[in-house]
């Protein structure tokens, strides 16, 4: 049973917790962390070797699909622009900033987000502790003070593709999710700008998606370290748009996930890297440098996870496929 709650379902130790540095994410550490076992390793480097084995699920065709699936995300840099894309249509000049009742504006924003591909949409106030302290280039991250609201979207990933994990078809589902994400945030941002509001689209950059999604009432944090939603489990990709449009925020939800995860070990059993904790209770302990201290959870060893990706020559979704809430038979 899903219920709305007054406070998010995570627990923070404010004496330890601080804003996370994006350079400490697993994908950035491979460039600078010489102590990491995966330093300098691009996880797709062994694709030719893997394809040459002739193993089912690892064909040249599927690998070509993986690279193609990321096209919109990787090649449409404008999706992440904080400014209008191109010149404003001259017909806009006749309009001032649009204003209506916040309830109605919220309804229209959510309707628009779903038209542009969002499977789930939630809204929350921007908690600055979820903004990265520094971006991947080492620059301090600053959000315009007027952008106090986050529109958080979840994009469902293909069920059949995810079910094949860790084969290449599951990585195609991941890439398609990211490309849909880029389209959704770019289009929603232009919608907000057309109504003369600010829009800051974000994928995995600038701010942490999972806690914002929890604040926006989309789901809870699972044993696998991912957002788990009642509708699709962790079989989603997250993105968000920060704005100064006055909107009505959603309440966080609790559908009993933490209690469920305490006795369910399907994701940890399915993890071929042994990267997911098997402990019965969440703790404040961290498993690797890519975990931010001060958060009570089952910390995931992202180092081991990435090393398996490199061995697999593609992204892995075993923990997503194994989760009962993903609704994969």
- pLDDT beyond 90 at 206: yes
How far the first Cα of the chain sits from its last, in Å, is 21
> pLDDT-based confidence at 87, cuts 50/70/90?
confident
Supply the range of the domain harboring residue 115: 3-326
The string over 286-310, giving b where at least 16 C-beta atoms fall within 10 Å of a residue's C-beta and e elsewhere, is bbbebbbebbbbbbbbbbbbbbbbb
Predicted confidence at residue 1, as pLDDT, reads 86
- pLDDT beyond 90 at 92: no
Predicted confidence at residue 29, as pLDDT, reads 97
> pLDDT-based confidence at 71, cuts 50/70/90?
very high
Strand order in the sheet with 236-243: 120-125, 149-156, 236-243, 199-202
Measured between alpha carbons, how far is 239 from 217 in angstroms, rounded to an integer?
14
Q: DSSP letter for 19, please.
A: P
- Would strands 199-202 and 220-221 be described as parallel, antiparallel, or unpaired? unpaired
- pLDDT beyond 80 at 313: yes
Predicted confidence at residue 265, as pLDDT, reads 93
Predicted confidence at residue 170, as pLDDT, reads 98
Measured between alpha carbons, how far is 247 from 254 in angstroms, rounded to an integer?
22
Measured between alpha carbons, how far is 95 from 256 in angstroms, rounded to an integer?
47
Predicted confidence at residue 219, as pLDDT, reads 98
What is the arithmetic mean of pLDDT over 207-212?
98
> Greater confidence, 1 or 182?
182
Instruction: Give residue-wise pLDDT tens across range 34-62.
Output: 999 999 999 999 999 999 999 999 999 99
> pLDDT-based confidence at 26, cuts 50/70/90?
very high
Q: DSSP letter for 173, please.
A: H
Q: How far is CA 107 from CA 37, 212, 248, 250, in A?
A: 48, 19, 9, 12
- Quote the pTM value: 0.96
Predicted confidence at residue 293, as pLDDT, reads 96
Predicted confidence at residue 153, as pLDDT, reads 98
CA angle 157/160/164 to nearest 5° reads 105
> Are 38 and 30 contacting, i.e. CB atoms less than 8 angstroms apart?
yes
Instruction: Give residue-wise pLDDT tens across range 286-297.
Output: 999 999 999 999
- pLDDT beyond 90 at 93: no
Rounded mean pLDDT of the chain?
Answer: 96
Burial of 194 (0-12, 13-18, 19+ CB in 10 A): middle
- Number of helices (H), then strands (E), in the chain: 12, 8
Instruction: Give residue-wise pLDDT tens across range 234-263.
Output: 999 999 999 999 999 999 999 999 999 999
Could you give the residue ranges of the DSSP H alpha helices within the chain?
26-32, 47-52, 60-69, 71-75, 102-115, 159-162, 168-194, 209-215, 257-263, 266-270, 302-312, 318-322
Measured between alpha carbons, how far is 161 from 18 in angstroms, rounded to an integer?
37
Predicted confidence at residue 115, as pLDDT, reads 98
Q: Which residues contact 110 (CB under 8 A, 6 or more apart)?
A: 121, 123
Given 3-state DSSP classes, what are the helix, strand and coil percentages for the chain, each rounded to the nearest 5? 40, 15, 50
Instruction: Give residue-wise pLDDT tens across range 139-187.
Output: 999 999 999 999 999 999 999 999 999 999 999 999 999 999 999 999 9
Q: How many CA atoms lie within 13 A of 260 on its CB side?
A: 17
> Are 180 and 78 contacting, i.e. CB atoms less than 8 angstroms apart?
no
Predicted confidence at residue 298, as pLDDT, reads 97
Instruction: Give residue-wise pLDDT tens across range 211-239.
Output: 999 999 999 999 999 999 999 999 999 99
Instruction: Give residue-wise pLDDT tens across range 264-312.
Output: 999 999 999 999 999 999 999 999 999 999 999 999 999 999 999 999 9
User: How many domains in the chain?
Assistant: 1
What's the token pair of residue 315?
């992204």
Q: How far is CA 88 from CA 77, 189, 197, 200, in A?
A: 18, 13, 13, 17
Given CA atoms 33, 34, 35, 40 in this order, what sign does their dihedral have? positive
What's the token pair of residue 93?
């000049």
Predicted confidence at residue 234, as pLDDT, reads 98
- pLDDT beyond 80 at 192: yes
């Amino acid at each position: 049973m899903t219920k709305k709650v007054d406070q998010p379902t995570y627990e923070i130790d404010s004496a330890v917790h601080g804003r996370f540095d994006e350079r400490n994410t697993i994908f950035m550490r491979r460039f600078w962390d010489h102590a990491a076992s995966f330093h300098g390793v691009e996880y797709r480097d062994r694709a030719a070797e893997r394809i040459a084995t002739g193993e089912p699920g690892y064909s040249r065709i599927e690998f070509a699909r993986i690279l193609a699936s990321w096209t919109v995300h990787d090649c449409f840099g404008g999706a992440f622009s904080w400014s209008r894309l191109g010149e404003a249509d001259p017909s806009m000049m006749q309009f001032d900033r649009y204003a209506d009742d916040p309830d109605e504006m919220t309804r229209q924003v959510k309707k628009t987000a779903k038209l542009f591909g969002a499977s789930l949409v939630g809204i929350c106030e921007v908690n600055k502790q979820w903004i990265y302290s520094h971006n991947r280039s080492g620059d301090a991250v600053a959000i315009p003070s007027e952008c106090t609201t986050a529109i958080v979207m979840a994009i469902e990933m293909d069920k059949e593709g995810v079910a094949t994990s860790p084969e290449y078809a599951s990585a195609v589902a991941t890439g398609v999710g990211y490309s849909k994400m880029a389209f959704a945030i770019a289009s929603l941002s232009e919608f907000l700008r057309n109504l003369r509001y600010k829009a800051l689209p974000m994928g995995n950059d600038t701010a942490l998606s999972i806690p914002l999604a929890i604040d926006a009432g989309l789901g809870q944090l699972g044993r696998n370290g991912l957002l788990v939603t009642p509708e699709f489990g962790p079989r989603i990709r997250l993105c968000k748009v920060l704005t100064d449009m006055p909107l009505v925020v959603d309440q966080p939800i609790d559908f009993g996930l933490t209690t469920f995860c305490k006795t369910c070990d399907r994701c940890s059993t399915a993890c071929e890297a042994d990267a997911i904790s098997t402990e019965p209770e969440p703790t404040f302990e961290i498993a690797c440098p890519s975990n931010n201290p001060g958060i009570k959870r089952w910390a995931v060893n992202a180092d081991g996870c990435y090393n398996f990706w490199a061995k697999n020559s593609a992204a892995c979704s075993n923990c997503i496929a194994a989760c009962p809430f993903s609704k994969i038979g």
